[in-house]
Amino acid sequence: METLSSVGKRIPKRDAVDKVTGRATYIQDLKVPGMLYGKILRSKYPHARIVRIDTSKARKLLGVRAVITAEDVPQIRYGFIKDQPVLKSGKVRSYRDELAAVAAVDPDVAEEAIHLIEVEYEAIPGVFHPVEAMKPDAPLIHEENKSNILKLPWKLVAGDVEEARKGSAYVVEDEFEVTWVTHCCLGTEGIIADFDLRNNLTVHRNTQIPSLAHRDFKDALKVMGLPDSKVRIIKPTIGGGFGSKLDTYGFEYIAILLAYVTRKPVKITKTREEEFRYTSTRQPAIIRIAQGCDKEGKLTFRDVSMILDNGAYTSWGATTPSVMMMPISSLYKVPNVRYEAKCVYTNNTWSQAMRGYGNPQATFAIESNMEQLAQAAGIDPLEFRMRNANEPGEVTPQRFKVTTCGLKECIDEVSKRLDWSNKKKSRVEGRGVGMASLIHVGGGARVYKSDGCGTIVKMDDFGAVDVFTGATDMAQLRAKGIQCYGIGPAVEESDSVNFGAHSDVEPGTTYLFDRDSKTLDL
């Protein structure tokens, strides 16, 4: 057997020593000459009309350099479908809504100024559960939409589920509900925004999406009347992401606006409490699933419907149902599949990507229901999965052709290492024994108009390699590709970010295909 020098071996990260010795530079460590500090006033109500905002006392406070509300700045909108204004006017839709912001000479003055801003509200009924929000008489989060159900195309139909259900020997259905989960990264979020004399913008931001942020900030500058301004993004050590830094947030645009108004660099960082309260979470989901199999334990159909709590606004987290299509349709051989997901506005905190980009919610329901179906059919759960595991040559309901797959081999190896059959026999009362499988998207393929697979590699006469990519350094997977040749990657900043917008694994490589479309190799 061939012995490999790098593959399968532990490879130290180039910045590991700096991190463990405290030399790594995080956003909290950065200072720019002349820098001001920003603070944001947020809503006290989840749903209310804004009657009045009085900033006069805050503006008079010594050390305050700027106070802005929606009336003072251009109306920048952001998010997946740009349904969220940076500073709110008219009404608030969530307790975290931004109403005003301050730039001051130090954080304490900025904090004091925020408390001097007076806001008069008129509370209105809210809705806090997606099922309630779907009712005809539910309060509308966005009145212009006439419905709280987002018009997003998360649907997959393959085969005839109803006929397959009638012909199944065993059918099991259940409902599962998962709630909010927060990321709680060690490094809280922050930004420094700075304009030069030509109105070019430099942003220091611990983000997972330098390319997408670059595009969104360029769009914001156009709204501000600066279409020709350039944007430079410098990413310090990120301090953890897990999806929490996979979107742009209101505080980033507020820092940009404050920097433009004051003509000074402006820094906004979140405290631990602010990070917990004002950072988006994993989407709560209600998952209804039914599956059937024949007498031999072969799956005959899968029927999945989901209702997701979108929160008050729409982030990239609303695209997670596209990722859910993969585990729902492609891990096991299922000839008939029906899947539909509805994202629903509520007055809750808006949700986003979090550890698996929707996969954990879907896989939890699928694998739990697989266990139930195996029990109904009287088949060992491990054997049940083996009988239905996908193999090379299969074509999934999404019209993907499986070219490589080691699921059976993986299950077999795990069963040996766990001593599966004996472990189940010796199970102690109160302690469960179970197993689950999953499949996840990956490979850097695009989910929006940005080539996540794109990169430029340059090698000079001395053997030094430069890799230009918009992917962020979240782990060490990229290191392995060139480490095999004895080259260690060094992450450097660049004046431009032109390529993908995530880390090594790109979310959202699953799409809805017609039944007649050609297959795509996996």
Q: What is the pLDDT of residue 193?
A: 99
Q: Which residues of 405-440 are buried (b: 16+ CB within 10 A; e: fewer)?
A: bebeeebeeebeeeebeeeeeeeeeeeeeeeebbbb
Question: Within 10 A of 505 (CB to CB), how many other CB atoms are there?
Answer: 18
Class of the CATH domain delimited by 132-172+289-439: alpha beta
Question: Tokens 């986003």 label which residue?
Answer: 352
pLDDT band for 10, please (50, 70, 90 cuts): confident
Of 38-52, 377-391, 420-434, 443-457, the poorest mean pLDDT is in 443-457
* Summary mean pLDDT of the chain: 88
The CA-atom distances, in angstroms, between 265 and each of 104, 260, 469 are 11, 9, 27
pLDDT of residue 474: 67
- Identify which of 281, 311, 365, 279 has the alpha carbon closest to the alpha carbon of residue 130: 311
pLDDT at 86 over 70: yes
Distance (Å, whole) CA 14 – CA 12 = 6
Residue 452: its pLDDT value, please?
A: 56
Task: Kindly report which listed range (162-166, 383-387, 391-395, 489-493) carries the lowest average pLDDT score.
Answer: 489-493
Same fold for the domain at 29-124+186-240+245-278 and the one at 132-172+289-439?
no
Digit-coded pLDDT (tens) for 192-203: 999 999 999 999
Query: Looking at residue 470, what is its pLDDT?
Result: 65
Q: What angle do CA 413, 370, 412 make, to 5 degrees?
A: 10
Structure confidence at residue 1 as a pLDDT band (50, 70, 90): low
Phi, psi of 494 (to 5 degrees): -140, 155
Top-confidence residue, 364 or 454: 364
pLDDT of residue 510: 22
Q: How many helices (H) and strands (E) does the chain have?
A: 14, 21
Burial class (CB in 10 A: 0-12, 13-18, 19+), 31: exposed
| Whether residue 296 has pLDDT greater than 70 | yes
Q: How many CA atoms does the CB half-sphere of 426 hold within 13 Å?
A: 6
**Across 166-170, 318-322, 513-517, least confident range:** 513-517
Q: 497 pLDDT exceeds 70?
A: no
Contact 284, 351 (CB under 8 A): yes
The mean pLDDT value for 12-31 works out to 91
The C-alpha atoms of residue 236 and residue 93 are separated, in whole angstroms, by 33
Phi, psi angles (nearest 5°) of residue 123: -65, 140
Best mean pLDDT range from 35-44, 434-443, 465-474: 35-44
Q: Other C-beta atoms within 10 Å of 262: how many?
A: 18
The DSSP line for 12-27 is --TTHHHHHTT-S-BG
Q: What is the pLDDT of residue 455?
A: 78
Residue 484 pLDDT > 50, yes or no?
no
Domain range 29-124+186-240+245-278, CATH class: alpha beta
Q: How confident is the model at residue 513 (pLDDT cuts 50, 70, 90)?
A: very low
Tell me which long-range contacts 63-66 makes (C-beta under 8 A, separation of at least 24): 63/104, 63/105, 63/106, 63/109, 64/102, 64/103, 64/104, 64/109, 64/110, 64/113, 65/36, 65/103, 65/104, 65/105, 65/262, 65/264, 66/36, 66/102, 66/103, 66/258, 66/261, 66/262
425 pLDDT higher than 90 = no
Position 468 confidence tier, pLDDT thresholds 50, 70, 90: confident
Give the pLDDT band of residue 75 (cuts 50, 70, 90).
very high
- CA dist 256 and 226 (Å) reads 12
Q: Integer distance in angstroms from the first to the last C-alpha of the chain? A: 27
Cα separation values, 488 from 218, 292, 476, 513, 520, Å: 33, 50, 11, 41, 34
Q: What is the mean pLDDT of residues 84-105?
A: 98
Statement: residue 93 has pLDDT above 80? yes
Residue 149 has pLDDT above 60, yes or no: yes
- Strand 190-195 vs strand 201-205: parallel, antiparallel, or unpaired? antiparallel
Strand order in the sheet with 91-92: 91-92, 48-54, 118-123
When comparing pLDDT for 490 and 75, which is higher? 75
Least confident of 294-308, 447-461, 476-490: 476-490
Residue in the structure block whose two tokens are 């820092």: 255
- Residue 23's pLDDT band, with cuts at 50, 70 and 90, is very high
Low-confidence winner among 113-127, 132-146, 410-424 (lowest mean pLDDT): 410-424
Residue 475: pLDDT band (50, 70, 90) is low
The model's pLDDT over 236-258, given as tens digits with 9 standing for 90+, comes to 999 999 999 999 999 999 999 99
What pLDDT is recorded for position 308?
A: 97
Please state, in angstroms and rounded to a whole number, the distance separating the CA atoms of residues 252 and 192: 8
- Which residue in the block uniquely carries the two structure tokens 């709110």? 88
pLDDT for 486 equals 46
For residues 264 and 443, the model is more confident at: 264
If we measure between CA atoms, which residue out of 1, 159, 76, 2 comes closest to residue 484?
Answer: 2
Sequence ranges of the domains in the chain: 29-124+186-240+245-278, 132-172+289-439
Find the helix or strand (DSSP H, E) in which 372 lies. Answer: helix 359-377
